[in-house]
Amino acid sequence: MTIQHTGQHTLTGIGVSPGLAVGRPVWLRQSAAPAVERRTLQANEVASEVERFRAAVAEAKAQISRIRARVAKEIGEHEAQVFDAHLTFLEDPAYVGEIERKIEADAINAEAACADVTTATREMLQALPDEYLQARADDIRDVGQRLLRCLLGETAAAVAEDETTSVIWVADELMPSDLSALPKNVTGLASVGGSKTAHTAIMARTLGIPAVYGIGDALRDELADSDVVILNGDEGTLQVHPSPEEIAAAEKTVHERSVALERAREIAQRPAVTKDGVRIDVFANVGGPQDFAAALANGADGIGLFRTEFLYLENDHWPTEQEQYEVYRQALEAFGERPVIIRTLDIGGDKSLPYATLPTEENPFLGLRAIRYCLAETEVFRTQLRALLRASAHGTLWIMFPMVETLDELQAAKAWLERCRAELIQEGVAVAERIPVGIMVETPAAAMTADILAQESDFFSIGTNDLTQYTLAADRGNPSVSGLYNPAHPAVLRLIANTCSAAAKAGIPVGMCGEFAGDPVFTELLVGLGLQELSMSASFIPAVKEKVNATEGERARKLAEQALQLGRPEAVEALVKSPR
């Protein structure tokens, strides 16, 4: 839709990620699908063509695994899960098997077979009544294009930009892999299609990049010769041919907002303290050394969750003790006296390792994941524990075990830790004298029996991402049930409250490192429920610290009491947003 102003146009779409951006529009991937030449094969070429195709599949898988790991680390696990669907396609006999069959049966080159099968699969998916499966049509297009590029030996279309000019990326449709490596000078996103729930919309919000989708064909028609555009993600508009005054005003606002953010970051360098003088630790969730600088710049009081699985996911082999030790030591040295909570390997569920012997499970989230896997594969566990213990001499290490739900598991994990400590001491290696050992509370079982688990834990950290899915029986990555998946559900809140009160009785600290902890809308409620530490993606820290500073303990407790009596998550959200 286009609204005519005096000489300028304002295109309207859906504001899928808030914020304002001014920049030069750059069409992304106009040569979307690589050109495909069709060739008939001689009989003696068929076998080598199939081999060539298989090599392209392997290359595409490797590329996607790398992108997945990077997105999980830099944007979030939830956003990264879209790439699991891509990997599944590359293992699906109905897709890759069909391409191979076509190369053989029709004696055509791999590119042509790939293009044909991708189009057919896409059309088939688009025609299905199920919305979730329809959305997979975008995935198959992304996968098909990647396969073609691998076959053609092309890398994905790179947009050459000088690093200083602010650029708005414009596309028919943005794909998750586009956003996985966003150049620094891209300050906004606009697209012809797309919706608020598109994976790339979620990624844009997490990255803090303003985005307007669903602008329609007007975007193609109107943009051609506009040197600068103003994108408003709050209002869902894109202004083309703005006047110099409008550009200046928008640039001023962008500048003011970034100054405000800088200011919030500065304040965030100080501890967050409630109005009645209670300090709440605000920590960062990290996936590896590339995240440490942002955590410190945003004022992290420590690391509340180091997801060590990325070390494993990024590698094509089990990371050695030495490789792990170096990374953990880097984290501990970067944070000095501030605590660094390193979580032991959380693999299984939706995170699979190509080189691990993970069983094929019907319900992987209910299967051999996290601490269960480590207690079954004790050499893997031992290697990590030794690396952690060796690193402990270089800072303030806390060790956290994921998905513990029985005292037996916790005792077994601690026994391995003690065994490794004894080994190292025997070998003359320095190990910190005291390392707090805690657990993630991620299952209803753990939350309900928190009093029992507290007997053997030095601290708790509540993982609401999993706690929510297990409590509400709603898969955290399945868009069809995303309406049910809500950590503000009173059932989840009551489990959080139970965990906090068990921790208080046992006199151990309790924190939270699921996504819920990073939403400033809920900060007061979480403080009222009794959380003493909140851990989140670095970019959320300043806003959460600001909320903590504005919180008054008694009011927060009353708010929590009220919330626990409500019946629906929407009512909880309305309560915490209501002026009080």
Which is nearer to ligand PEP, 466 or 519 (by Cβ)? 466
Q: How far apart, in Å, are the Cα atoms of 580 and each of 105, 241, 523, 576?
A: 71, 44, 15, 9
Question: Of 172-180, 325-333, 461-469, 521-529, which segment contacts ligand PEP by CB under 6 A?
Answer: 461-469
Q: Report which secondary-structure segment, H or E, holds 283.
A: strand 279-286
The only residue of 466, 519, 524, 533 in contact with Mg ion, by rule CB under 5 A: 466
Q: How far apart, in Å, are the Cα atoms of 374 and each of 315, 413, 438?
A: 18, 9, 16
Count the alpha carbons within 13 Å of 501 in the hemisphere toward its beta carbon: 10
Q: Is 444 in the site for Mg ion (CB under 5 A)?
A: no
Which is nearer to Mg ion, 151 or 404 (by Cβ)? 404
Which is nearer to ligand PEP, 36 or 368 (by Cβ)? 368
Q: How far is the CB of 401 from ligand PEP (least distance, A)?
A: 12
Q: At what angle do helices 131-152 and 82-89 cross, to 10 degrees?
A: 60
Q: Is 465 in the site for ligand PEP (CB under 6 A)?
A: yes
User: How far, in Å, CA of 284 to CA of 518, rounded?
Assistant: 9
The only residue of 463, 477, 511, 530 in contact with ligand PEP, by rule CB under 6 A: 463
- Partners of 212 in beta bridges: 15, 190
Q: Is 510 in the site for ligand PEP (CB under 6 A)?
A: no
Q: Is 74 in the site for ligand PEP (CB under 6 A)?
A: no
Which is nearer to ligand PEP, 77 or 178 (by Cβ)? 77
The only residue of 23, 319, 463, 528 in contact with Mg ion, by rule CB under 5 A: 463
| Phi, psi at 397, each rounded to 5° | -90, 135
The SS3 assignment for 114 reads helix
Name the residues annotated as catalytic: 199, 513
Q: How far is the CB of 8 from ligand PEP (least distance, A)?
A: 45
Q: Is 305 in the site for ligand PEP (CB under 6 A)?
A: yes
Helix and strand numbers (H, E) in the chain are 24, 18
Which is nearer to ligand PEP, 377 or 466 (by Cβ)? 466
- Taking alpha carbons only, the member of 312, 37, 10, 258 closest to residue 151 is 37
The only residue of 383, 464, 486, 537 in contact with ligand PEP, by rule CB under 6 A: 464
Q: How far is the CB of 523 from ligand PEP (least distance, A)?
A: 17
User: How far, in Å, CA of 140 to CA of 60, rounded?
Assistant: 13
User: How far, in Å, CA of 178 to CA of 196, rounded?
Assistant: 17
Chain residue at closest Cβ approach to Mg ion: 466
Binding pattern for the stretch 332-361 against ligand PEP, x by CB under 6 A and - elsewhere: --------------x---------------
Q: Is 287 in the site for ligand PEP (CB under 6 A)?
A: no
Residue 59: burial class (beta carbons within 10 Å; 0-12, 13-18, 19+): middle
Q: How far is the CB of 169 from ligand PEP (least distance, A)?
A: 28
What does the binding site for Mg ion look like in residue numbers (CB under 5 A)?
A: 442, 463, 466
What does the binding site for ligand PEP look like in residue numbers (CB under 6 A)?
A: 77, 305, 307, 346, 442, 463-466, 513-514
